[in-house]
Structures are given as C-alpha cells and as structure tokens.
Structure 1
C-alpha cells in the first residue's frame, strides 16, 4: 500500500501528514481520516493527478462533491486507511462556518431529491441530438453536397455535437443514473461512438479542472500547452518579472481566436487525445480507440456517399468540429477566464469555486445553448447534481454567498463572452509592463 500500511489506527499530526507529498508517498485526509494513496492513485477512476493535487491536504469537501455514492467509495478506501489526524487544522471560525453552511445546503438538496435525475429530461435531450443529426442527413439527401447545403448540414451536425458534449458531460459526472458502470458505459457511447473522442482522457482532465479550478499548474484548462496564454492578474506579472516570453502575451486577446475557438477542438484536443491513447496503451485506451473507430465508421456509412467516402467523412468531421469549437470554447471559458486565476491557496470549497466561476443569466435559450453550464457556480459546487435541478439550489447558494460576503456573479451571456477578450487584454498588458520593467 505504501508507507502507511504498517501504521493502522495510529494518530498523526497535520505536520506529519504534510510530509507525505512525494510521488511514491502521498497521504490525503478525508473527514479527519488519513489515506495512503501512493499506489491507489494509479488505479483511481478519476485519474492520479487529481489525487496528487491534494497530497498532504484535507480533501473532504472535494471528495463529497465529486463522489455520488460515498458508501461505495468508502469500501474501496478501507484498504488504504492509515489512521486519524490527532490535531484540528487551524481554520478560522469563518471558514468553519462556511463549511457547515455548505454541508447544510447539501443535506437540503439530498432531502429534497435534487440529486435525483429526471429520466424524461435526458431522454428528450438524446432525441433532440438524434433529430439534429437527422436534419443534417436530410439536407445532404435532398440538396446534395453543394457548398450551401454542405454548410447547412454541418450547422445541424455541429449542433448535435455540441449538445452531445453537454450530455456526455452529465454522464461523466455521474449525475444521470446511479449505477456507476451504466453511467460510464453511456458516456463511452456518447463520447466515443457519437463524438469520436476519448472518454477517459476527458474524465481525467475534467476532474482536475473541477478539483482545482483556475489553479495554475493544477487546472489543465488554464495551463494551455507551454503557457500559450496567461490568465488572471498575478501569473502574468510573475512571468513578466522573470523575463518569460513563450508568446507575445500582449497580443493574446488577438491570437485567442486562432488557438481558442478555431483550433481547440479540431486540432489541440485531437492531438491531446492521440498522445493520451499512445501513452496509456491499456484497456481504457483500447476501449476509447475502438469507440473512435466506430464513430468514423458511422460517419462514413451515413454521410460518405454524399461527401466522397471515408476521406470525405474525415473532412466533414473536422469542419463540424471546427464549427463546434467556437460554441464550446465560448461557453466553457466565459465562466472562468474573467475570474480569479492564481496558485493553490488551499481555500475551502465555497471560496475556491465562487472566486473562480461565474454564472450566466438563465433563460430557455441560455440553458439549452450552454447545457445549463450557465449555472456554473452550482455545477462546480455540486457536480453530481443533475443540471435540470441547478435552478433549485441556486437561491440557497446565492444566500450563503451573501452571508459570507463572497461574490455570486451573474452576467448576460454576451457580456461574459466579451469579458473573455477584455480579461485576456488586461492579462497581456500586465505581462508586457512587468516584462519591460524588470
């Protein structure tokens, strides 16, 4: 198990816990119990890195948020139990009160059934996806593959892919069905066969984003390959003072359109997936690879006769992904890029998520267009909650934020999208000034 195997039922101080943060010697604390995850991290369903980010830390709140069936999780954790923390972490009274308030909201949500999904909602969501794919097929069938009909069909297909993304995301968070194996199987179908992407790559990456949102070097969503972008107000200044210039960051609000919406899904994501599958070479990678092959067979069978066989289906895929990329990038980033980006300060769950996320005004269009990710704060605080229930818990979250004088930002969608660019411009200017005055 690791170093903790021979010290069952002993007690340790927090100073001792914080000594176990190395690659082959990692302890985490959940509800004052210490667990040696040194070996378990390699088989952790959420990936190894998400555990490594909490080495030597109290992971109770994120554990509660990310695990829907906590009793099942505890069964697996018995074999890696080390002991108990004998001293109380020296949290201030306000933090302890915030944690109690969050637990109270969670209990209210459980009592009211807000963690239970409505099957009709998700069946309707699936049928709408099938409808948009079918509309794309009908455009090709009745109008041929001229440029106008090709573009029109791709708009329908991109809409289907975007909505598939939101639904795949639901199953990835185990927020639709209680059965873990069924949830993963459906997500594999959506992500692999329907979208042509890697389910396991997505889960391992996305779990880290949720666990350490907007934390530099820990959230993969803000550590773009080789720091192509700098976010927030602190990181750019540090880079500038250190004389780092991986990119002309004062223009990042301009090249964002190339590396962000234009290239994110068709290029960056596909390269990451290929690298992930080659690097892992295990049964998970094999499943994802077979599902992706199934996707291209599906696209070739359905659309190949209209667009020129397999090669035409591949080109169709990349153009659809290009269109979807604008949709996906703007929706996912408008709630995070304008918010605080910093190093890990070990904040409690409520503080860390409200400082790093913001909501978008709710309306039937906004809810559908964003897959209910316009309720980004609620989604990050309660990721296993079905998205159709976010609006129910939102008033409670807002009230506790007001009580503790924390931001609860709600913006119009276009305003939030514009803030992506304005915040990048600000970050770039901060870097430029620090770089030229070091």
Structure 2
C-alpha cells in the first residue's frame, strides 16, 4: 500500500474521532500541546547521521577487505540497517513529512534500495495491523504462519508445523535469525500484487539493492567470506528487528471476532504494551517502546511519543482503562509465555 494510503487509512479509524468518544479529549490535549506537528529537522539530522554512519561502516569493509576480521563489522551494519528500517517505518506513517511524494521517496530509498525490503508490501501489511491489532481475522501479524497465536490455530497444525508449534517459544529467537532474508523474499513475492508502474519501480530498486550489496562484498572479499558475512549480517539484522517488534503486542488482549467492536482507544490500548526505559531503549527500539502512544497517534513524530506518554497514561487512568508498561526483559517473558501456552495442547 502506498505511503499516503497508509497514513490516510490510519488517521481516521472507525469511530475514533467522534466528538463524544473517550478518545476525543485525549486527542484535543495532544493537539493543543503541538505533539502532532512534524519534526522534519529532527528527522533530517537523524537520517543524515545514519547515512554517514553507514558510509563509514562500508568504508571499513572496503579497507579491511579479504580477511575474516571484516566479520565484526556485520554487527554495526545490522544496527544501522535497523535504524534505516525505523526511518522507513516512520515515513510510511507520514511522521517525517506531510508531503506525500517526499514521504514516498524516503520510504522507497530506505526500504527498497538500502534494505531490499519492499516498502509497498510492508505498508500494506502494517496498515491492516494498525487498523485491527491482535484481531485474529484481520491482523496479519497474528495470522497463521511459521508461528501461531491461539490454541485454535495450533489445533489445526500437522506434521512439521505441529512440532514447530509445540516448541515455538524456545525457537522464537533462533527463528528471528532468518527474518532478514524472509523480509527480502516477501518483498519480491509482493511485486505481483502491485500495479505495473509501481511494480517496475519497486522491482528495479530491489534488484539494484541486491546488485549493490553483492557487488560490494564480492569486490572486496572472496565468495566464501562474502556469503558468511551476508548470512551473519542478515541474521543479526533480523534478530534486532524481531527484538524491537516482539514486545509490542504478543501476549496482550486479543479481541473476540464475534464480540463487541472496541472503539479506537480500547482497540489500541488494550492490545499494546509499552517498554520502560531511557534514551538507550528509545534508540534500540526505534521509539516502538511507546507502542500505545504510537498506535493511538500513528502520525505522531517519534521524538514526541515520550512527551505524549504522561497524557495518555493519565487519560487511561481517568477512564478506567488498563495501561500496560513493563521492562524489556519482562516484555519478552510475557510474549514467550503466551507462545508457550498456545502450544501447550500439542505437548
């Protein structure tokens, strides 16, 4: 889904902005404090610093050349790729700029060209997640895949998938090591769903990424070292992204598909979990540690999420709505416990 469509789809959820809703007073307070205003300068500095850091790591790879000592550089490269993914994520939410074309260019350059991850695929998947988080029929993030999220899903597994579900909690982090490659594969698979012109542009940028990435590694190191470096780099990248997204919703409330439809405030707050921390946590998780605020206000710039948190917590307390916030380790424990319980009937 194009970046502009993603932003538009999230800006007006059903019933969220009605004058009499529980969400309306919070929205007025957030707007009054200017927290929905863009921070284009903040993002410009962040993007520039990230690109310079990427250039520095690439320079280090070239200078080290054909030696196993180049492998440690896979770690900073993975960390910087995650920053790049966070920029693409924010561009998709129109957090960086209100100009649709500029936002689209930022998303394409950071997603398709720099990461080899199809920006259109990610936005299409992500808008459905934001519209109905943790809804078993509508959120693709809790659909049946390598992992499952309800015991009903687990009961339908057979063969190897059944064994995988029985052990999915202990296998979760090892499986994240494959996520960096899986993101690329999913991006290419999605090309067939794009209109011809978008497909051509996306395909060109994805192919250019592969050519530049492989060309760089093969130009400075032997094929064997290049393959090892690429596998290590993508494993660390996938692990990092998974660690950033895993704490957000896993183990939280899941709306009953046949039950009452929640309003915007409850749909987003009850299904989301924040992670406590300071500046390092904000950096490591790309602002996704403020998952409740992000889901309530998808277009809010990342540096404003921390500022909005006290308003959101106070409002949730005033309307009697649970506001879930844990430490990082505890968030992983809760997510893994949920996955373990899902597979319990198969054990």
Range class of TM-score, shorter chain:
0.7 to 0.9
Q: Would the aligned equivalents of 1:350 and 1:381 in 2 still touch at CA under 8 Å?
A: yes
Q: Secondary structure at the match of 2:57?
A: helix
Q: Deviations over 1:123-150 (max 9, x none)?
A: 2221232233233224323433422x22
Q: Secondary structure at the match of 2:166?
A: helix
Q: Is 1:120 the counterpart of 2:34 in the alignment?
A: no
Distance 1:286 1:229 in 2: 32
Aligned to 2:14: 59
Q: Does 326-335 or 271-280 show the bigger shift?
A: 271-280
Q: Would the aligned equivalents of 2:132 and 2:138 in 1 still touch at CA under 8 Å?
A: yes
Q: Write out aligned runs for 1:221-260 (5 A).
A: 221-225=141-145, 228-231=146-149, 235-236=150-151, 238-239=152-153, 244-245=157-158, 246-248=161-163, 249-259=165-175
Q: Would the aligned equivalents of 1:137 and 1:303 in 2 still touch at CA under 8 Å?
A: no
Q: Would the aligned equivalents of 2:67 and 2:221 in 1 still touch at CA under 8 Å?
A: no
Q: Write out aligned runs for 1:420-431 (5 A).
A: 420-429=335-344, 431=345
Q: Deviations over 1:329-375 (max 9, x none)?
A: 11101111121234434211111111211101130100000111100
Shift of 1:312: 7.2
Aligned to 2:62: 141
Distance 1:313 1:151, change over 3 A: closer
Aligned to 1:365: 280
Aligned to 1:320: 233
Q: Would the aligned equivalents of 1:175 and 1:386 in 2 still touch at CA under 8 Å?
A: yes
Q: Decide which structure has greater strand share.
A: 1
TM-score by length of 1: 0.70
Q: Deviations over 1:405-427 (max 9, x none)?
A: 22211111122123222221122
For 2:252, which of 339, 350, 356 is the aligned residue?
339
Distance 1:333 1:384, change over 3 A: same
Q: Write out aligned runs for 1:13-412 (5 A).
A: 45-46=5-6, 59-61=14-16, 100-147=21-68, 149-225=69-145, 228-231=146-149, 235-236=150-151, 238-239=152-153, 244-245=157-158, 246-248=161-163, 249-259=165-175, 261-267=176-182, 269-280=183-194, 282-300=196-214, 302-308=216-222, 316-344=229-257, 345=259, 346-412=261-327
Gaps of 5+ in 2: none
Q: Would the aligned equivalents of 2:22 and 2:265 in 1 still touch at CA under 8 Å?
A: no
Q: Deviations over 1:246-273 (max 9, x none)?
A: 52333221232343x1222213x23322
Distance 1:180 1:414 in 2: 38
Distance 2:332 2:126 in 1: 21
Q: Secondary structure at the match of 2:5?
A: coil
TM-score by length of 2: 0.87
Q: Would the aligned equivalents of 2:169 and 2:339 in 1 still touch at CA under 8 Å?
A: yes
Distance 1:422 1:330 in 2: 15
Shift of 1:184: 0.9
Q: Deviations over 1:19-71 (max 9, x none)?
A: xxxxxxxxxxxxxxxxxxxxxx99x9349xx89xx9xxx8242xx6xxxxxxx
Shift of 1:301: 5.2
Q: Decide which structure has greater helix share.
A: 2
| CA root-mean-square deviation | 2.9
For 2:334, which of 403, 406, 419 is the aligned residue?
419
Q: Secondary structure at the match of 1:351?
A: helix
Gaps of 5+ in 1: 1-40, 65-95, 434-438
